[in-house]
């Protein structure tokens, strides 16, 4: 710890002078980036609209209250669709992710080139948002729940496979060797040596991903890929604000319930 | 000893994950019923799907080679806008998260502040960025400012929550030691709490920048600035070579960001 000698005795400081200067320089760079980025954004902003925002908020706020509860009866089906998109999408993703994870983990992969290819699939699936996948899939399979389900599935493969292959790489190799020592074949080593060790992870990842996907599937309707997003964007387009507030409350409820279920199930597994 | 017990078991079966067979079979039955119902009610127009498969093949064939000419000069502009939008909303979100995160830590804040801050976090975590973006476009008009507001709010939900949890899990003895020296509240935060949470928070802010870029690439679909608008236009105009350019640049930037943030996180910790 640096201390500075003064006439009144040693004075304690958190950092040495050089370190302190480096910290200040870091702050300066950060400030420059902030100012530059802010300038770019503000150039493209029509400030008149921004200053108008409080009155807009008040206006839309008053129009949104009270929620149109009679509209609820038309929302059960979209909620069911939304949950199905999330659940079937997650199921598809998990079915695909487990083999991909085994091919991608360095201790179970058959070859380095296979590992590289699988890592590429994982990254590509993870980097593109499910809304973009849905946009493309609506063109291919047509608007509806199927496009949304496949989009959620494709987007989730990467996320699930990444977590699973990391846990495969962290397993206790001794258990696999023990199975090998009894004369177990490659498949038996995998089923009795590796799978029991990663099963809790697989289940945990599935539930965790399902929770994320419920949230994600509420918006897919904006590009026509099914779920409650269709009603949301339709109601916003016709400025039916009381219906919008009902839909938002329903989404809020769905997300809270899914988060609660996911937390409970994960607590039971792990 | 009886005859039976003198034999060793000659076969072995893996014990079941769920021991009670009634519970096990009812879970199997419930799962199968659910998937049957879900798929049964899905309403898929199979003729449309069949028509779509050649369209999909056509789309993918037009992806290669991607149209790199960027004839209207909008793609580069849109991508840069997305990047800067991600940067500024990460910074803005973190600046707002610090007070909210401190307020949401059970061991720092009085109950009413704690509940208020936790409420903000819960609401901002619930809605996906795109829904927030729809509303901020309504409030603030089209353009990247709306995206900035939406992504900053999303960042609060993520960052403030993790900051609060980190503060709640900190080592109490250090905090008490600093307090025992007679430090003021600000000094206490600065010298006892900040050093304990800072390394992880720097890592998390890099991670959040990564997420914010991914999100900033889609909020344009609802008019909140960035590359998303051009992506939507190119798909609607069947300009799939342009779509491919946008998609591949998003993937490339995300991979780059992920490596940089992974490297920085290792360096910090």
Q: Are B136 and B146 in contact (CB under 8 A)?
A: yes
Q: Are B232 and B242 in contact (CB under 8 A)?
A: no
Rounded to a whole number, what is the distance in Å from the CA of A97 to chain B's nearest CA? 19
Local confidence band at A195 (pLDDT 50, 70, 90 cut-offs): confident
- pTM over 0.90? The answer is no
Rounded to a whole number, what is the distance in Å from the CA of A15 to chain B's nearest CA? 12
Q: Does A72 touch chain B (CB under 8 A)?
A: no
Say what percent of chain A tops pLDDT 70: 99
Residue B183 has pLDDT above 90, yes or no: no
Residue A218's nearest CA partner among A130, A133, A128 is: A130
Mutate to test the interface with A, among B18, B19, B42, B212 (most CBs of A within 10 A): B42
Mean pLDDT is lowest, of B12-26, B178-192, B215-229, for B12-26
User: Using one digit for the tens of pLDDT, what is the confidence trace for B1-27?
Assistant: 445 555 677 777 777 767 778 888 888
Residue A270 has pLDDT above 70, yes or no: no
Interface contact flag, A140 B59, Cβ < 8 Å: yes
Interface contact flag, A139 B221, Cβ < 8 Å: no
User: Using one digit for the tens of pLDDT, what is the confidence trace for A24-66?
Assistant: 898 899 899 888 888 888 888 778 777 887 888 888 888 888 8
Say what percent of chain B tops pLDDT 90: 11
Please give the C-alpha separations between residue B146 and each of A251, B133, B222, in angstroms, as whole numbers: 22, 6, 10
Rounded to a whole number, what is the distance in Å from the CA of B268 to chain A's nearest CA? 14
Helix A17-43 to helix B144-168 angle, to the nearest 10 degrees?
150
Interface contact flag, B55 A33, Cβ < 8 Å: no
Q: Is A81 exposed, middle or buried (0-12, 13-18, 19+ CB in 10 A)?
A: buried
User: Using one digit for the tens of pLDDT, what is the confidence trace for B97-121?
Assistant: 999 998 888 888 888 899 999 988 9
What distance lies between CA A176 and its chain's CA centroid?
33
Q: Does A25 touch chain B (CB under 8 A)?
A: no
The pLDDT value recorded for residue B100 is 92
């Amino acid at each position: 710890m640096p201390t500075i000698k003064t006439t009144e005795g040693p004075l304690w400081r958190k950092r040495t002078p050089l370190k302190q200067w480096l910290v200040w320089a870091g702050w300066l760079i950060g400030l420059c980036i902030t100012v530059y980025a802010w300038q770019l954004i503000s150039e493209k902003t029509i400030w008149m609209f921004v200053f108008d925002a409080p009155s807009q908020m008040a206006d839309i706020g008053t129009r949104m209250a009270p929620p149109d509860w009679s509209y609820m009866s038309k929302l059960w089906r979209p909620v069911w669709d939304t949950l199905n998109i999330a659940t079937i999408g997650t199921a598809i993703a998990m079915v695909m992710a487990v083999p991909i994870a085994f091919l991608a983990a360095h201790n179970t992969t058959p070859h380095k080139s296979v590992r590289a290819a699988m890592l590429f699939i994982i990254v590509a699936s993870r980097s593109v948002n499910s809304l973009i996948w849905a946009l493309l899939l609506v063109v291919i399979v047509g608007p509806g729940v199927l496009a949304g389900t496949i989009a959620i599935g494709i987007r989730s493969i990467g996320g699930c496979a990444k977590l699973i292959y990391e846990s495969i790489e962290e397993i206790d190799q001794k258990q696999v060797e023990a199975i090998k020592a009894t004369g177990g074949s490659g498949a038996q080593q995998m089923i009795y040596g590796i799978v029991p060790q990663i099963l809790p992870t697989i289940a945990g990842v599935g539930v965790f991903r399902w929770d994320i996907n419920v949230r994600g599937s509420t918006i897919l309707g904006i590009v026509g890929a099914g779920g409650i997003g269709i009603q949301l964007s339709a109601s916003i387009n016709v400025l039916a604000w009381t219906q919008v507030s009902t839909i938002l409350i329903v989404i809020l409820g769905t997300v809270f319930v899914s988060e609660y279920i996911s937390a409970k199930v994960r607590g039971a597994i792990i | 000893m009886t005859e039976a017990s003198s034999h060793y078991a000659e076969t072995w079966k893996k014990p079941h994950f769920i021991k009670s067979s009634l519970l096990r079979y009812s879970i199997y039955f419930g799962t199968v019923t659910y998937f049957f119902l879900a798929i049964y009610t899905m309403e898929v127009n199979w003729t449309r799907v069949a028509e779509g498969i050649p369209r999909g093949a056509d789309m993918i064939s037009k992806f290669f080679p991607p149209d790199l000419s960027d004839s209207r000069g909008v793609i580069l502009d849109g991508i840069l806008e997305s990047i800067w939008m991600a940067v500024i909303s990460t910074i803005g979100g973190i600046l707002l998260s610090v007070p909210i995160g401190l307020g949401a830590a059970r061991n720092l804040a009085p109950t009413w502040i704690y509940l208020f801050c936790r409420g903000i976090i819960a609401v901002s975590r619930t809605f996906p960025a795109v829904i927030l973006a729809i509303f901020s476009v309504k409030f603030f008009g089209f353009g990247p400012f709306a995206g900035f507001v939406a992504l900053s709010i999303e960042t609060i939900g993520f960052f403030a929550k993790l900051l609060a949890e980190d503060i709640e899990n900190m080592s109490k003895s250090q905090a008490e030691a600093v307090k025992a020296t007679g430090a003021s509240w600000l000094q206490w935060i600065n010298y006892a709490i900040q050093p304990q949470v800072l390394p992880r928070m720097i890592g998390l802010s890099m991670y959040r920048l990564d997420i914010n870029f991914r999100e900033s690439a889609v909020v344009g679909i609802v008019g909140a600035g960035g590359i998303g608008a051009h992506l939507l236009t190119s798909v609607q105009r069947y300009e799939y070579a342009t779509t491919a350019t946008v998609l591949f640049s998003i993937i490339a930037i995300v991979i780059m960001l992920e490596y940089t943030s992974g490297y920085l996180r290792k360096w910090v910790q």
